Structure 1
Amino acid sequence: EGDSFRIDEPIYLYIEPIGYTIKENPKSSYEFGFFADFTIEGEDGKVLGGQKDFAKLDFKSWNFNTEITLTFTYTISFFSIQVFPQYPDLFSHQDNQ
């Protein structure tokens, strides 16, 4: 719980996107998709790492889907112990809004 996680501890995200556009293609199927970014910030708010467009999620369906859920599992293990001298085995996750 909270916004701090141990190195190698999985972080589970459950996402329900809103405001996306669904396109009907000529074969009467529907297409939509998402790009996913992530950033990791230190306790001081400084960006330590991340990646833009690390996932491109394309969906195609014969049904007009209006409710979509996505799940992500992050396991971050690439930070050295020097990143947080006070808490060497913790890092902070903060939503970037």
Structure 2
Amino acid sequence: MRRALGLILATSLATAAHAEPLADLAAAQKATIEAWGKVPFSQQNVTFVSESSNGYGVYKARGSNVFKPGEPIITYGEPIGYGWKQLPDDLYEMHLMADLDIVDTSGEVLWSKQGYMDTRLVSHKQNMEFKFDMTLTVDGLSAGKYKLHYTLHDMTSGKTSSFDEEFELASGG
């Protein structure tokens, strides 16, 4: 009997010791979501990559911004400060769209596409780790220096953010 009571007491203490860190973690997650709501919608870790990423933070940075004609130009980035839409069944939706302009050194827009990217994530969590890959193959441009101008739209909050990536198109193949 004493042994059974000792086992019950030990189990109760272990459960209580385990519950406290879990409660601390839940409180920290709630505070993080509140802080996230104050972060301006923007992006971080934007870089050219050598291939499509395999997940958030899982990418191979490209060592150069010089591309051959017809070579895919892949941009990796991590949006931050976006909102979530509450859905039925305890689900949340994150929805981003992006517009893209190719701009020459004089500032002239040579090509433009609204809705170039349209991506959604539906989850039981308010995910804060989300990434995008945008792939572009440029044909018909002369060798030279250009800029990719991206405008991100958080379709949930209505906020926008933009960023540029300079690249060079090499001559020949």
- Structure 2 residue aligned with 1:34: 96
- Structure 1 residue aligned with 2:146: 92
Q: Deviations over 1:12-38 (max 9, x none)?
A: 111100121012212101111101110
- Structure 2 residue aligned with 1:63: 125
- Structure 2 residue aligned with 1:85: none
- Larger radius of gyration between Structure 1 and Structure 2: 2
After TM superposition, give the deviation of residue 5 of structure 1 in Å. 3.2
Q: Is the 8 A contact 2:100 2:148 kept in 1?
A: no
Q: Is the 8 A contact 2:99 2:112 kept in 1?
A: yes
How far apart, in 2, do the equivalents of 1:73 and 1:61 lie?
A: 25
How far apart, in 1, do the equivalents of 2:113 and 2:93 lie?
A: 25
How far apart, in 1, do the equivalents of 2:126 and 2:78 lie?
A: 16
Amino acid in the other structure paired with 2:143: D
TM-score, length of structure 1 as denominator length? 0.75
Amino acid in the other structure paired with 1:70: F
Gap change, CA 1:17 and 1:60, over 3 Å in 2: same
Q: Deviations over 1:23-77 (max 9, x none)?
A: 2212101111101110001122211011111222121112221111111221111
How far apart, in 1, do the equivalents of 2:109 and 2:99 lie?
A: 13
User: Structure 2: where are the runs of 5+ without partners?
Assistant: 1-63, 151-161, 163-173
Q: CA RMSD in A?
A: 2.0
Give the 5 Å matches for 1:1-97.
Answer: 1-2=64-65, 4-77=66-139, 79=140, 88-90=142-144, 92-95=146-149, 97=162
Aligned length: 88
Q: Is the 8 A contact 1:36 1:54 kept in 2?
A: yes
After TM superposition, give the deviation of residue 91 of structure 1 in Å. 5.0
